[in-house]
Chains A and B, each alone.
Chain A
């Protein structure tokens, strides 16, 4: 019997609404996944059981220097092929099945594994790429070329636990209460179509970045076609994917701070720029002139996680909800205030995030280091493009 497969991300573009949440301890102290689970569970009605997930930072301190690959497999063949591929390009320190709770409501889960790996040193040096770029290209290869395998995350000392189901069920399934992290983010999904596949759930990741997003950006194709110029393949056709790539382009390749990358993505309006004093006006104008296609338009709220902390951002018109609150060294973020109060009833500085104003929470240790850093970004040298270094003639298109 053949099943008619519903279209997945990548086949079609699927807009979706969502719930997002984040909890972080600035001191770096680690907490179990219990609170984030409770927080996202309260926003049950903002998702529809078609996707949920968590990102956790600081969960693998014993392997902090290694890449932690979380990989989902649809079949044993996919695992064999992927592991053979990893064997060639990486050196694996440890690999194991990720423990899951078989009594949970989640059914038909894929086979989910984790690997702690470092790039093969000779291949890395021969590739001419730096470590992040090398890892990223191989992750792209697995996701794009190996049928039935999907890398859910590939960062250091972090991991993503996601799947099809309500987020609270996904959390139980992965037993996230057993992990301790200094930062957690969570996502509950309400897609307006029915894709239902595990890799398509969120958070979406790229190296150490993880992104949870609520919204539907109207600038999607402008943003996609911009980043695709620089070797990013928007295979999943999701907003989250393109936001992640934009962020990676600006923050990693162009060397901007996360706030500045976020600022570029939610640039101030011209009216506002016109009212600034001349030197600031010249600065903002230059950013908008150089990065017009990085402007993200339409309603969205995102929480971007990294090894330095969390960054929350709302579209510049503030068309999506996102609340923040603090208590001591703890910072809370959620689509709804109640989801914060559910885990921290006496939270302070409860407020709604301003549209287009990045809200950055850094680890205290990182914040201290950043104060010493050079405030100038250093964009990396543009790499030669595939078409410029190829040996074979491409199909001749001109007459």
Chain B
């Protein structure tokens, strides 16, 4: 059957700059480039190009660029070329369309409609180079009031377990299996260096990461892969994954070809078998079941580790977050629909869930209405792209944020959305040894550390401008935000005034 698909990208090669050195050919795992010595030129199979930009970056003479395939649609905004191609693909294969990374739809990005404040005259801005500027955050449950002995300076109340972050950023769950061990190791090393946390995802805890256990959050998801008493007790905190922003209501599927010996050992499943995480936890069909799981995990770790519950931002997210807090979650993680994934059905990724900005604002507000916001920690996830997004998230009400896509981009990811092929040219979303080794964890960790340090400096600069020298004074401080180009309804949900007000 003739495949009606056409290429998405066109490899543009500047003949004046190409030296036929062959770096592109050697670096492309999709076999796009070929040095044709006979013809004296390098050719490209455009159909295979996924626009990962590895060759563009590696070319010693910058002779390469990737362009859009010049084919035009018929001009319809309805039957777009992408729409036609999706149909052609399904007509060919009869399968569910798979995609990766976060929701790419042109929905409003509310971060870009929120402006930050700065002090003028009546309140001095603070110079972070001269004054302490605190970005330390603790995550965990808190009592509403503390009982102390003021004379002896001792605490009578037993404080629930906490984790300490020196920067208000953690690395979200990405399992060994969905990403390479080198990628996970790079994040673990960076987390340790930065004084923050990485998350194992639902892939078990690889033995080589033991030195980074104090900076690890282990995940318990619906497949329960890799979960054991040792696993739970190894890490600093435990996260129950109920949902993921990129694919709310959907489980996970790691194909058998990615389950090599190491992945198999770490996940505690047979080599070569598909690892299927069910859509729901089959022991959680209701909120009271969640409470049982939370307390089972607390019992298993003797109440020494905070338990987080991660939920996808869906329509009813505020009530679900509140219910989770009341079910005993110490930390609530809300993951917006632009959050990334290694693989998700395209229709789910592009159509299910809501933006993190609105979800975060309504969760924070709901928890305050119920008077329980100060007793639980709130983490926002789902496409945090810069330090300014972090400042906005904290001002909307988050204690800290999770980043994953940004950390992967620091490692080399170019968001080509082809993770599920397993042929990641950057050594991130792959288990092929020859590709995995492209990511040297030490190089990767340094890049991630550089990124987060730079962001933290920027956060400090922005806080200083607002006259704030401790990040807790930014938390939920929505007066530091103003909306621009938003409707009254949007402003109400976000709980911010419009610029000029």
Binding site for B on A (CB under 8 A): 13, 15-17, 192, 215-223, 225-226, 228-230, 253-257, 259-260, 267, 269-271, 279-280, 282-283, 286-293, 295-299, 316-317, 319, 375-379, 382, 385, 387, 397-399
Contact = CB atoms under 8 A, between A and B. Distances in A.
B150 interface: yes
For the complex of A and B, 6 pairs with smallest distance between CB atoms: A292-B472, A219-B473, A379-B145, A375-B151, A297-B473, A218-B467
B123 A299 contact: yes
B141 to A, nearest CB: 10
A256 B318 contact: no
B138 to A, nearest CB: 5
8 contacts: A216-B122, A221-B476, A288-B138, A292-B472, A293-B374, A376-B149, A387-B369, A398-B316
A221 B368 CA distance: 13
B150 A287 contact: no
A292 B143 CA distance: 12
B469 A297 contact: yes
Contacts of A228: 368
B431 interface: no
Contacts of B54: none
Given A221-B478, A298-B123, A382 B144 contact: yes
Contact of A286 (B126, B159, B371): B159
Contacts of A316: 469
Interface string B455-476: 0000000000011111011111
Contacts of B155: 282-283, 286
B480 A221 contact: yes
A292 B149 CA distance: 19
Given A230-B371, A290-B142, A295-B473, 18 more contacts: A218-B119, A221-B479, A222-B472, A225-B373, A229-B371, A256-B150, A270-B136, A279-B154, A280-B153, A289-B140, A290-B159, A295-B470, A297-B467, A298-B468, A375-B152, A379-B146, A379-B147, A399-B315
Contacts of A298: 123, 467-468, 473
In this complex, the interface size class of chain B, counting residues with CB under 8 Å from chain A, is 35 or more
B154 A283 contact: yes
B134 interface: yes
B150 A13 contact: no
A376 B125 CA distance: 38
Interface in B123-171: 123-124, 126, 131-132, 134, 136, 138, 140, 142-157, 159, 162
B450 interface: no
A225 B367 CA distance: 11
A385 B367 CA distance: 13
Contacts of A16: 122
Nearest to B365: A225
Contacts of A280: 153
B468 A226 contact: no
B370 A385 contact: yes
Contacts, number: 154
Nearest to B117: A218
B90 interface: no
Contact of B147 (A13, A377, A397): A377
Contacts of B144: 379, 382
Interface centre among A222, A228, A287 (most CB of B within 10 A): A222
A19 to B, nearest CB: 15
Contact of A385 (B122, B124, B371): B371
B132 A222 contact: no
Given A282-B155, A319-B124, A293 B319 contact: no
Interface centre among B146, B162, B319, B480 (most CB of A within 10 A): B146
B123 A229 contact: no
Contacts of B124: 299, 319
A105 B234 CA distance: 74
Contacts of A295: 470, 472-473
A218 B467 CA distance: 6
A376 B150 contact: yes
A15 B124 CA distance: 13
B421 interface: no
B57 interface: no
A255 B476 CA distance: 25
Nearest to A225: B476
Contact of A289 (B159, B370, B469): B159
A103 B121 CA distance: 37
Interface string B228-240: 0000000000000
A229 B373 contact: yes
Contact of B368 (A215, A225, A269): A225
A215 B123 CA distance: 7
B318 A397 contact: yes
B477 interface: yes
B146 A291 contact: yes
B156 A376 contact: yes
B103 to A, nearest CB: 20
B479 A13 contact: yes
Contact of B470 (A297, A375, A399): A297
A317 B469 contact: yes
A282 B164 CA distance: 13
A295 B473 CA distance: 7
A393 to B, nearest CB: 14
Contact of B467 (A256, A289, A299, A382): A299
A192 B318 CA distance: 38
A290 B143 contact: yes
